[in-house]
Chain A
Amino acid sequence: MADTPAPPSPDAPRRVALFVTCVVDFFRPTVGFAAVRLLERAGCQVEVPPTQVCCGQPAYNSGDRADAVAVAKDVVAAFEGFEHIVVPSGSCAAMIRVHYPKLLGDDPVWGPRAHRVASRTHELVSFLTDVCGFESVADVGAAGSVTYHDGCSGLREMGIKQQPRKLLASIPGLELKEMLDAEVCCGFGGTFCVKYPDISGEMARKKAATIAETGADTVLAGDVSCLLNIAGKLSRDGHTVKARHVAEVLAGMTDTPPIGAGSKE
């Protein structure tokens, strides 16, 4: 392909495309700006392809393979010119990295293109630590205590576990209080949460309770979709724990009110 980037010189900034995800775009733009700030601090040159929409999980997880394939092709076309594709979501990153090759792999034209995009796609925090060698955000001011929820796809499909904890540990004055069963699903699950609201609600109830039991001020995670579910259940059940995407804390962008909370909360 003609658009294969030339090998960068060691000092040249990494050219990174941000796939902001439809959920961040719609609900939590702050996470997109936090991602840009973190990537720039890690020496990347960030671009935001304007035709990006969604990774296609709603169709893929509902069994609508044809639409999932169509959406996946659009994403591949929009992002294949970049050296790295970075996503502030373990779930959407895993969709591209793990599932696009399965969706498009058999297609003689799209298969190789999907594989190439997949291999260049990373979740934000693991990209910072594992690819950019980013080790510390010590200059970021944060105080109090946080607990970290491991989103399922990030954890099991992308191997994200220690990376966010390592960066959080570099922030002076920030205490990490681990919750029980941090690796257990919060009950979001995409369309699952509205198709089976009772089951999803029960899973979220347990998650919210274990978060509250830590006594932490704020729950963090790497996926806004999980956080919308968690924040919504925390407030519904009367817990006062705040919810934020981990990138907001790492980027020092905590002026924005927490997810689902007014500025005075």
Chain B
Amino acid sequence: MQPTSAAFKQQSRQAIANPVLQKALQNIRPGFQQKRAKAVAALPEFDALRDQARDLKTHVLAHLDVYLERFEAKVQESGGQVHWARTGAEACDAVLGICQAAGASLVTKGKSMVAEEIGLNSRLEGAGLTVVETDLGEYIIQLRHEMPSHIIAPALHLTKKEIAAAFMQAHVGLPEDRPLDEPRALTDEARAMLREKFLGAQVGITGANLLIAETGSTIIVTNEGNGDLTQNLPGIHIVVTSIDKVVPTLEDASTILRLLARSATGQEFSAYTTLSTGPKRRGDMDGPDEFHVVLVDNGRSSILGGPTQEVLRCIRCGACMNHCPVYAAVGGHAYGWVVPGPIGAALDPGMIGLEEAKHLPHASSFCGRCEEVCPMRIPLPKIMRYWREQTFSRKLDPAMARYGLGAWAWLARRPRLYHWATGMAARTLSLFAGRRRRFKWLPMARGWTSQRDLPAPEGRTFLAQWRAEEKRRARAGAP
């Protein structure tokens, strides 16, 4: 997909001014934060599991080639095929090739952020295929021609009202006065619409939450059951996933799964945890005739081994964005790419380039809440700081900010001059502040005063007063 992250500032401003989005974002606290907190409190070994999962994934990343090749061998052993894709375009080509070879016209698709990343839908649709998203959130945003605003809740930016309107417009032939006020009515209608697609599709595409090297299995976790119908009913199942998802064993997968749902939705386990190992075997009741795994790199191997490689531990639970006050203010679309929030700020510059994504690691107060909740203990502020250092050393930040910083640093290294200058400034500002002791507007500080008043300095600086007091004491001969 085409990123718009360079326009983050404008996009965030629009997001803050969008009342529908702001109303939808209010659901994050009860819907995600409180549920996660409850789930974590109920599992005493949660932090120990985090350590274990961090170490596990760190080990995998150090031996990624070994585990990926082991995974490939096992997929082949079970009768499936692995397609290596260096870029998003290569991955799209691989998927399209499989669809075309099968003469497919209708493709169902479970939620896959990797598929969003590589722009798979538009590639398939451009070749004449019909692609139907079957995850409810993805289905809604497909109807609205939008991109996901959250990695586990793609339609988080909408309220019931917008969803009902999208259904009214898209589902022609149904009574126009049907009630769509309740979530149940909406899901029932989507369910009925999707049922025929599930049955008619020739190819089903899913993502994967985990890949198991020892068995060649892929795992998806879902709550709607759409993933199972997508991958079991059509004759061909294509898993579109990325190279960072592999873990050595089923036991390792279980470690991560115990963290994943708790961190994401506060569930102990998601409603469905589905393992796929190869195509249907002789004697199997169901399953696809063909099983393909498209392993997407798309920039990840260039992150591997570098200063930001810890982002590759991410299991896409969304906890960081669910607890991020910046995400809560602007939502996901403002970030301009498929992975928003703190993990986006740490990951996206490495994926789409720092020139495009430079705002994202700067648009953080470094409050640290993301790192506090990350189940994989990714040091997100540290990685954002790395990108800020890159922005600075590559001179990608505004010249004015650089000059200002340079002047400040020059002054800060000259204490006498600094104290004289700040002493003057404090007294001057104090003088002009009047009786209200705050400024509603101040030239040179418009970034501040556009949003809030600036409290005035008290008058003389602490150090000036302290020095005077010490002199007075010395003169008086006091200790």
Give A contacts to B, CB under 8 Å: 20, 22, 24-33, 48, 50-54, 56, 58-65, 67, 70-71, 74, 152-153, 156-157, 181, 183-185, 187-204, 206, 228-229, 231-233, 235-236, 256-257, 259-264
Contacts and interface: CB of A to CB of B under 8 A. Distances in A.
B462 A29 contact: yes
Interface residues of B, number: 66
Contacts of B29: 181
Contacts, number: 211
A62 B392 contact: yes
A172 B379 CA distance: 42
A203 B326 contact: yes
B366 A152 contact: yes
A196 B12 contact: yes
B432 interface: no
Contacts of A33: 462, 465
B415 interface: yes
Nearest to A196: B363
Given A195-B401, A199-B326, A235-B453, A32 B365 contact: no
B281 interface: no
A168 B463 CA distance: 28
Contacts of A185: 325, 365, 367, 369
Nearest to B450: A197
Given A200-B451, A232-B451, 17 more contacts: A22-B412, A26-B422, A29-B461, A59-B405, A61-B366, A61-B385, A74-B413, A152-B369, A156-B371, A183-B369, A185-B369, A187-B325, A195-B447, A199-B16, A202-B329, A204-B451, A228-B455
Nearest to A203: B325
B437 interface: yes
A199 B330 contact: yes
A34 B393 CA distance: 40
Given A63-B390, A64-B392, A232 B455 contact: yes
Contacts of B389: 63-65
B367 A189 contact: yes
Contact of B405 (A64, A70, A202, A235): A64
Contacts of A31: 462
Considering residues A24, A28, A189, A232, which has the most beta carbons from chain B within 10 angstroms of its beta carbon? A232
Contact of B363 (A25, A199, A263): A199
A60 B451 CA distance: 25
Nearest to A194: B447
A135 B366 CA distance: 32
B16 A202 contact: yes
Given A25-B461, A58-B408, A260-B438, A228 B454 contact: yes
B451 A198 contact: yes
Contact of A25 (B406, B422, B437, B452): B422
B282 interface: no
A237 B457 CA distance: 21
Contacts of B363: 192, 195-196, 199
A27 B457 CA distance: 4
B388 A63 contact: yes
B332 to A, nearest CB: 14
A187 to B, nearest CB: 6
A67 B329 CA distance: 32
Nearest to B453: A232
B461 to A, nearest CB: 5
B160 interface: no
Contacts of A27: 426, 455-458
Query: Which residue, of B325, B329, B435, has the highest number of chain A Cβ atoms within 10 A?
Result: B325
Interface in B28-63: 29
A105 to B, nearest CB: 14
B40 to A, nearest CB: 15
Interface string B432-474: 0001111010000101101111111111111101110000000
B265 to A, nearest CB: 20
A62 B451 contact: no
A203 B364 contact: no
Contacts of B418: 53
Nearest to A21: B462
B116 interface: no
Contacts of B453: 231-233, 235-236, 260
8 contacts: A26-B457, A29-B461, A50-B467, A70-B409, A71-B409, A236-B440, A236-B453, A261-B436
A157 B368 contact: yes
Nearest to B414: A53
B458 A201 contact: no
B369 A63 contact: no
B365 A188 contact: yes
Given A24-B462, A25-B422, A262 B436 contact: yes
B9 interface: yes
A52 B458 contact: no
A24 B425 CA distance: 14
B77 interface: no
B448 A232 contact: yes
B241 to A, nearest CB: 33
Contact of A67 (B385, B405, B435): B405
A156 B453 CA distance: 28
Contacts of A231: 438, 453, 455
A198 B13 contact: yes
B391 A63 contact: yes
Contact of B369 (A22, A156, A204): A156
A197 B451 CA distance: 7
Contacts of A67: 405-406, 409
Contacts of B451: 193, 197-198, 200-201, 204, 232-233, 236
Interface string B351-372: 0000000000011111111011
A206 B452 CA distance: 13
A261 B437 contact: yes
A15 B465 CA distance: 21
A192 B458 contact: no
Contacts of A24: 462
Given A189-B365, A196-B12, A236-B453, A29 B401 contact: no
